[in-house]
A = this chain, B = another copy of it.
Amino acid sequence: MPSLLPQHPTIAVVGAGAVGGYYGARLAQHGHDVHFLMRSEYEHVRAHGLDITSPHGNFTLSPVQAHNSPAGMPQADLVFVTLKTTSSELYEPLIRPLLKEKTAIFSLQNGLGSDEELARLFGAERILGGLGFVCINRTGPGRIHHITEGLIRLGEFVDPGDGPRAQQIVEMLRAAKIRCELLPNLLQGRWQKLVWNIPFNGLGAMLEMNTQQILSTERGREVVRALMLDVLAAARSEGVTFPQPAEEIIEHHLTRTKGMGAYQTSMQIDRQEGRPMEIEAIVGEPLRRAKRAGIATPVLEGLYRFLKVVSPES
């Protein structure tokens, strides 16, 4: 059983971009001892703080306990990992120095693989994983725009996902005006999110089309359905199932996504801006798991094959 956090935990946010910056700032605003590890915005945030615009109220966090290297940071009770999955080579050098014997590591990252990688490096008992359903953008140096309420779903990496430490973190986040819920089965939660993320991030980035363009034709909807069926099959290959029938899950996603209008996924925007795309976490790793289990997912395989031509390094 993982140890509970102390009553006044020291929190480190590793990879404090828009998402990590927002949640870290909320925790700091509510009295927590939060340290931010950041790279490009370090100087600016050190001098000017973090400016938050949010439906929960705008505020400026200043001074910010900002760092540009883990060397000067205190060891933490909770490490909040919001690095992009394309930077997994940084887990060891950035996180290791922050760990005490019982430090918990909470990975709020996309796709599959980061929980396992962090568990391999630092021990499974430390790890919690989270899914962000959020819309938080950087609008300038040190400026973060929290657009809609959003939701974090989080759970322990080692079952049960909704153990006491996870409950404690949920309470801490809620007290800081962060909407969140417990995930009894983290792996199921990750696959559930992938049912949407694989088709829309994948096709969006590969074809340079937004959700509305993809769904505007029966042909597009067919390919989305075929990809979702492949993702559900890949999930089953890991023993992950869902209570609803596949058709119901899929139609629910299609209806909901139509309601979103012309939405560009993060991967499409990453492609447009020439940034690394999270292809491996979102598409590659799910495909590899199906393959290891001997499950054929031909549409998913095709997506991965062609997407890698767009961004072979990521």
* Residues in chain A within 8 A of chain B (CB atoms): 203, 206-209, 214, 217-220, 223, 226, 298-299, 301-303, 305-306, 308-310, 312-313
CA distance A298 to B223 in the complex (A): 15
Contact of A217 among B217, B219, B306, B312 (CB under 8 A): B312
Chain B residues within an 8 Å CB radius of A312: 217-220
A299: min CB distance to chain B, Å: 7
Residues of B within 8 A of A223 (CB): 305-306, 308-309
| Contact for A206 among B206, B226, B308, B313, CB less than 8 A | B206
- A209 x B309 contact (CB < 8 A): yes
Complex copy number for this chain: 2
Closest 8 A/B residue pairs (Cβ): A302-B302, A219-B312, A217-B312, A220-B309, A219-B308, A223-B309, A208-B208, A207-B310
Instruction: Evaluate contact between B299 and A305: CB separation under 8 angstroms.
Output: yes
User: CA–CA, A310 to B204, complex, Å?
Assistant: 10
Considering the chains assembled together, what is the distance between the CA atoms of A303 and B305 in angstroms? 10
In the complex, which residues of chain B have a beta carbon less than 8 angstroms from the beta carbon of A214? 309
A209, chain B: closest CB distance, angstroms: 7
- A313 and chain B: residue at smallest CB distance: B217
Provide the bound-state CA to CA distance between A221 and B30, in Å: 53
Q: How far is the CA of A303 from the CA of B307 in the complex (A)?
A: 11
CB-defined contacts of A219 to chain B, threshold 8 Å: 308-309, 312
Q: Are B309 and A306 in contact (CB under 8 A)?
A: no
Closest to A298 in B: B298
* Nearest B residue (CB) for A304: B302
Beyond the given A217-B312, A299-B302, could you list 16 further A-B residue pairs with CB under 8 A, ordered by the A residue number?
Answer: A203-B306, A203-B309, A206-B206, A207-B207, A208-B208, A209-B310, A219-B308, A219-B309, A219-B312, A220-B312, A223-B305, A223-B308, A301-B302, A302-B303, A302-B306, A303-B306
Nearest CB of B to A179, in Å: 34
**A299 CA to B312 CA, complexed, in Å:** 17
Q: What's the least CB distance linking A248 to chain B, in Å?
A: 23
- Could you list some 11 contacts between A and B, CB below 8 A? A206-B206, A207-B309, A214-B309, A219-B308, A220-B312, A223-B305, A223-B308, A223-B309, A299-B302, A302-B303, A306-B306
- A203 surroundings in chain B (CB, below 8 A): 306, 309
Residues in B whose Cβ lies below 8 Å from that of A298: 298, 302
Least CB distance, A147 to chain B, in whole angstroms: 28
